[in-house]
Structure 1
Amino acid sequence: MFDALISGNNPFFYHLTNVLIHLSTSIFVFIFLNKLKIKRELSFLWAVVFAIHPVLVQAVAWLPGRNDSLLAFFVLPSFIFLISFFEKRKSYYLWLYLLFFALALFTKESSIFIPVLVLFYGLLLSDKRNLFVNILPVLFLGWIVIFSVWFYLRSIALLSSPVPYSILGSIKSIFDNLEAVILYIGKVILPFNLSVLPTLQDSTLVYGFISLVLILVLFIFSKKKNYSLITFGLLWFLIFLLPSFIRPSGYVPDFLEHRIYLPLVGIFVIFSSLSFFEKIDFSKPLVNFIFVLIIVIFSILNIWHSNKFKDKISFWTSAVKTSPSHPLAHKNLGAMYYLDHEYDKAKQEFLKAVEINFEEPMIHNNLGLIYMRENNFDKAKEEFELELKINPNYDNALFNLGLLYWGQNEKQKAAEMWLKTVLINPDHKDALKGLAVYYGEIGDREKADYYLYQAKLRGAEF
């Protein structure tokens, strides 16, 4: 909303905000790791890696990816303030923790598990366990109040669109997609198979398995291990990653890279618990050379991957290239071609999407528009009706079928479709405009004036 107030439809400030959030979060990563008593130089290394890691490009370059960077922007300070409370026993740090926890919860629902991490921190890592036990009643009271407000507002927001997941269904979805953990680990350690719309079906797990072997070797050759820190880091990684595996039944799951944004911090915590990293001597030229080399490689990969987000065609072309079996990739690339008036290319992508998934939402409507442009009205009608059979409440399919009837001079049928459209979506200004014209033509001035007023109220131009 802040971006919209400043720049309207100009994307510059939206991207600037994303960059500023990411830079701020990178600083928070350094402070947080340092608060966990991880060596200052090592904390700085991880913060720099976080700042330029190519797997996080989607969270910065792609505006919808902001949800995860914003989550980290609130979660990390919440823990920083909580740890500061243990260090300094100043009550305002505790209230700041609760404030940032609330902000995180209202940003993304996976924050409901933050109290679990707090409990494990207090029991495993805090050197002031007695103090932690003493403030538990305050923490629980704060959590109850925040959860109550959140749950109440959430229930109001979801009245018209209930969540399509049950608890058992969510657990099953997580287990069905557990392979994605390997996929994400591979992208973190060896970020060479990056994608704007990754799926398990079209992704290789080779990088993930190689990465797991490398981690195992590091684990074996590290003589000392901080198991409390390992446990905390692993919990952090899983708690913030696994909820993103929940998908509606029958939907092709994607594993977007911005979802690893906050879980990545858990991997840094795990690595920092191994003596291999703890004993790194940053005064040695070889260590600095390797560090700089990693930064250079990651920066090159970062710039290369960023180019996939430069415009709509680049994005969806990349999606089709890396995830050719995902119908959404073909559907949306086709939609971008349609908007650019490249109708033959659009038709090709729409047909490919139908071939992959005949019931892909909106795809038959899109094909109907193509056939309308080709004056193949029978085929267009067939596609619109197919869309409505699959997706009966899709307002645009109803409206477009009405347009088809209007063009064939079946104006009463057109009006019937548009009435159904505004019944589903009262703000569909084109349907309101069409109804105003229809009732004007048949001489019903009262209804014509009503729909004219409603259409103009919503920005329709006549």
Structure 2
Amino acid sequence: MINSNGLNEAETPKSILIKYSPQFLIVGIILLFYIHNLWFDFTYIDDNLIVFDEYEKINSLFDIPSTFVNGYLYDNYYRPIVMTSFIIDTAIAGQSSMMYHLTNIILHIIVSLLLFKILTKIGFNDKVSLITTLIFAIHPLNTNAVSWIVGRNDLLLAVFAVGSLYFYLRYRETRSNFYFSLSLIAYFFAMLSKEAGILVPVIILLFEIIHNENKSIKWNRIYLLLYFFIPAIVYFCLRSFVASINVREEISFNSFIQNIYILFEYLAKTGYFLYIDPLPNKNTTLILIGSLLLVLLITYTILNRKDNRIRIFMFGFLMFLIIVLPTLFVRVNADDGEFNYIDCRMYLPLFGIMISYAVIIEKIFVSLSKPVIIVLGTSIFIYLSLFTFLNNQVYKSGLTYWSAAIEKNPQRATYWMGLGFYYFDNKMYDKAIHCAENAIRIKPENTEYYYKAALAFETTGDLIKANDVLERSINIDKDNPVTVVNLIKNYLKLGKKVKADVWLSKFLAIDLKSKREKADLTSALAYYYAQAKEFNIAIKFMKIAIDVFPDNAGYNNDLGVFYVKNGIPDSAKIYFEKAIAKDSININYKKNLKTINN
């Protein structure tokens, strides 16, 4: 029946509000806890690299196709969907952190709503589904994924992995090929978001095996899952034969043995929040709590093996294991030689754990009286809220993030360097120097820290102290050509050519095996000597760079400039013409040649 406003009476605004009140509540609670993230800055752990150091990869919508052939984070990963999301953010708001945070919040909302839908699909009532979803939505363990911009990897993985599962459940209900196709597409996007997406068919297969009321395998559905090989093959072809990536991670069984404690720590953090840190370190308390919780979960499964709901409980728990265990084979050490794992990787596994916990929550509703449930629910909400609020404050800026990491573990050199990067980018050079010196004190064998300290001194104009630091570095790594070149540069700026020439002799004695390194360093020396008006030496080193890469138009043009400065226009003309031949549309090269001809 149509009312006077032209609406079906069953679909009035009031009825819609009532019908979708759980979804509105989920969105409202998430915004309550995370909306202030819009005013958070960058944390200076990878987010600054993506938005600033690799800005040329995300500064235009026309860069979207290139994400499918290039790597992510210095070409270490293949995640074109993540890069595409950053490109869209940048197109909307430039390098402002606000848009990046807003997208993370939206993705978290989508995943939370999908959790609610899936819980209702597999038989939980709205009340149990809502409470479980709210726990997930404001769980402190998720702050790393939601509030850290680079947590986008795991948010997008969850959106598409869970989306694939949801569409598959819709297919089981309707037998519609449309939903099955959406499940395959979401699976493909999950893989393009993060490598763990490859596991989605395993999760769906697990669901088919466990969530089967007839306790007999329907082989037609199992065979149907073979279609998931199609997007998987396309993904591996793109990754292996099209994309240019350079994986730095160690993937081995030895890594798995070293990382196995993380499984227990992750389990512990699903309910014990005291040690949820921005950069976790191995924690004996968490390992013990996680081990105890694992025993309890297994015991619960055994004791309730005849309960119809135990299949759902097992599905959620096994989903957690399926996603977590393969990641333990991967290990990347920080630049101080230590190992970091981060909690955003628990975002999708926590989704599985929430399915298991929904079974327990359902039993609580049946077993306890309403007043007890209210008191218990309020206590849990306060418990979650307190730790989520406190953990979220860590992500306000690089200062809050790295200060919190240092407070937890002041003997990690890489944490001091992280804080130093924040100070350096914000032009607080004295504090950046202090941080670098602390890193050197903790890990004196790491020459990278000396280089960063020297850079901060250089920026303040104190070239003498910069060289003091660089010479300390040379005592550790005697044949580091980058350090030697920086010493030459600084001594030339100080007008101490004799000392510069001493270090130049040292440089010439170093065997540079990499062509790229040889070209980069010799061309850099050419520029430094040109700035010191030593054009003969500048010409000599630029010729070496050109010998390595003769088709580099920039090198040829700059050599022409050096010849002009040295009063040899005929030679300059030759190299300007070479530069134009290699890059005919460059206006500056043409202007240089025109100046010579006139």
Are 1:105 and 1:111, in contact at CA under 8 Å, matched by a contact in 2? yes
* Aligned equivalent of 2:272: 190
Superimposed CA distance per residue, residues 23-66 of structure 1 (whole angstroms, 9 cap, x where no aligned partner): 11110111122222234322211111111111111111110111
Can you give the 5+ residue segments of structure 2 that lack an aligned partner in the other structure?
A: 1-86, 540-555, 563-575, 587-598
- After superposition, the Cα gap between the structure-2 partners of 1:24 and 1:200, relative to the gap in structure 1 and judged at 3 Å, is same
> Counterpart of 1:261 in 2: which secondary structure?
helix
* Aligned equivalent of 2:237: 152
1:72 aligns with 2:163: no
* Aligned equivalent of 2:228: 143
* Aligned equivalent of 1:116: 202
1:44 aligns with 2:130: yes
Q: CA RMSD in A?
A: 3.9
Correspondent of 2:381 among 292, 295, 298 = 295
Between 65-74 and 325-334, report the one with greater CA deviation.
325-334
- After superposition, the Cα gap between the structure-2 partners of 1:362 and 1:128, relative to the gap in structure 1 and judged at 3 Å, is farther
AA aligned to 2:321 is L
Are 2:399 and 2:422, in contact at CA under 8 Å, matched by a contact in 1? yes
The percentage of aligned residue pairs carrying the same residue is 25
1:423 aligns with 2:516: yes
Can you give the 5+ residue segments of structure 1 that lack an aligned partner in the other structure?
A: 458-462
* Aligned equivalent of 2:254: 172
- After superposition, the Cα gap between the structure-2 partners of 1:213 and 1:134, relative to the gap in structure 1 and judged at 3 Å, is closer
AA aligned to 1:98 is L
* Aligned equivalent of 1:228: 311
TM-score (norm 2): 0.64
1:330 aligns with 2:416: yes
Are 1:102 and 1:146, in contact at CA under 8 Å, matched by a contact in 2? yes
**Shift of the alpha carbon at 1:4?**
0.5
AA aligned to 1:235 is L
AA aligned to 1:151 is F
* Aligned equivalent of 2:331: 247
Cα distance in 1 for partners of 2:158, 2:324 equals 12
Cα distance in 2 for partners of 1:425, 1:36 equals 62
Cα distance in 2 for partners of 1:98, 1:446 equals 52
Cα distance in 1 for partners of 2:441, 2:284 equals 17
Between 228-237 and 313-322, report the one with greater CA deviation.
228-237
- After superposition, the Cα gap between the structure-2 partners of 1:162 and 1:60, relative to the gap in structure 1 and judged at 3 Å, is closer
Cα distance in 1 for partners of 2:517, 2:437 equals 28
AA aligned to 2:230 is V
* Aligned equivalent of 2:558: 447
Superimposed CA distance per residue, residues 223-259 of structure 1 (whole angstroms, 9 cap, x where no aligned partner): 8644433332222112222344321479422221211
Are 1:33 and 1:269, in contact at CA under 8 Å, matched by a contact in 2? yes
Between 345-354 and 210-219, report the one with greater CA deviation.
210-219
- After superposition, the Cα gap between the structure-2 partners of 1:369 and 1:26, relative to the gap in structure 1 and judged at 3 Å, is same
Cα distance in 2 for partners of 1:174, 1:425 equals 38
Are 1:75 and 1:104, in contact at CA under 8 Å, matched by a contact in 2? yes
Cα distance in 2 for partners of 1:203, 1:96 equals 43
Are 2:447 and 2:477, in contact at CA under 8 Å, matched by a contact in 1? no
Are 2:529 and 2:535, in contact at CA under 8 Å, matched by a contact in 1? no
Superimposed CA distance per residue, residues 389-427 of structure 1 (whole angstroms, 9 cap, x where no aligned partner): 7987xx7x677445324324457878989xx89934999
1:380 aligns with 2:465: no
AA aligned to 1:379 is D
Cα distance in 1 for partners of 2:558, 2:463 equals 34
Aligned residues: 444
Cα distance in 1 for partners of 2:380, 2:560 equals 67
- After superposition, the Cα gap between the structure-2 partners of 1:400 and 1:374, relative to the gap in structure 1 and judged at 3 Å, is closer
Cα distance in 2 for partners of 1:89, 1:131 equals 18
**Shift of the alpha carbon at 1:184?**
1.6
- After superposition, the Cα gap between the structure-2 partners of 1:279 and 1:163, relative to the gap in structure 1 and judged at 3 Å, is same
Cα distance in 2 for partners of 1:449, 1:114 equals 58
Cα distance in 1 for partners of 2:383, 2:370 equals 20
**Shift of the alpha carbon at 1:185?**
1.9
Are 2:493 and 2:532, in contact at CA under 8 Å, matched by a contact in 1? no
Correspondent of 2:170 among 84, 95, 117 = 84
> Counterpart of 1:189 in 2: which secondary structure?
coil
Cα distance in 2 for partners of 1:367, 1:435 equals 20
Cα distance in 2 for partners of 1:160, 1:70 equals 20
- After superposition, the Cα gap between the structure-2 partners of 1:39 and 1:362, relative to the gap in structure 1 and judged at 3 Å, is farther
Cα distance in 2 for partners of 1:230, 1:425 equals 59
AA aligned to 2:280 is P
AA aligned to 1:149 is V
Are 1:230 and 1:269, in contact at CA under 8 Å, matched by a contact in 2? yes
Between 205-214 and 12-21, report the one with greater CA deviation.
205-214
TM-score (norm 1): 0.81
Superimposed CA distance per residue, residues 67-121 of structure 1 (whole angstroms, 9 cap, x where no aligned partner): 1111111111100111111111111111110000000011110122222222221
**Shift of the alpha carbon at 1:316?**
0.3
- After superposition, the Cα gap between the structure-2 partners of 1:447 and 1:338, relative to the gap in structure 1 and judged at 3 Å, is closer
Cα distance in 2 for partners of 1:26, 1:433 equals 57
